[in-house]
Amino acid sequence: MTNHNSLFCGAQREFGSWNQALIAAGVPKKQVSGMLRNNRTRILPALRDALDDPSACIPEALKFQAVHYFGSLRKAIIAAKNDLEGWSKERITSILSKMYRSKTLPPYARARREYPRLVSAAEPYFGSWGKALHAVGIGPI
């Protein structure tokens, strides 16, 4: 509705509703009905989780829903990276502690590549990656 208003209005006029237009375009009914439940507050955390795991790819259904709500996958990824909802100091310190105990905590450069959401969330809360590690009681790596 926001990104392509004329397309949305035309689809409603031609098919009666946006969902009917999606079904006519070949989107499975199950996926269309699921889109009603999966709004921004559900898509962003799922997208963040997919982005946090460098070995995983983003599921097609999630890509489709992200494009539906944000206009493009690129815009959805930017929104997911900029959205700190779901992160807290407690969650960040918990993750860092677990990684440190399991000896999987990488140095900053590798953490930036492999865990961009964690680093991006830690920096605004603590001021820097080093200060986040210090808050957990970990010295520089």
- pLDDT single digits (tens) 47-105: 877 776 666 688 887 888 888 888 888 988 888 777 766 777 888 898 999 999 999 88
Residue 99 within a domain? yes
Residue-wise pLDDT for 9-50, tens only, equals 888 788 887 777 877 887 776 666 555 455 666 787 778 777
Residue 95 within a domain? yes
Residue 141 within a domain? no
Residue 119 lies in domain: 89-136
Residues 42 and 99 in one domain: no
Three-state DSSP class for 127?
coil
Q: What is the largest CA-CA distance in the chain?
A: 63
Cα distance between residue 89 and residue 11, in whole Å: 44
Residues 12 and 60 in one domain: yes
Cα distance between residue 90 and residue 111, in whole Å: 19
Tell me how many domains the chain contains. 2
Residues 123 and 65 in one domain: no
The number of beta carbons lying within 10 Å of the beta carbon of residue 106 is 13
Where does residue 26 fall: left (phi above 0), alpha (psi -120 to 50 degrees), or beta otherwise?
left
Residue 71 within a domain? yes
Residues 34 and 71 in one domain: yes
Cα distance between residue 111 and residue 85, in whole Å: 20
* Element of type H or E holding 60: helix 60-70
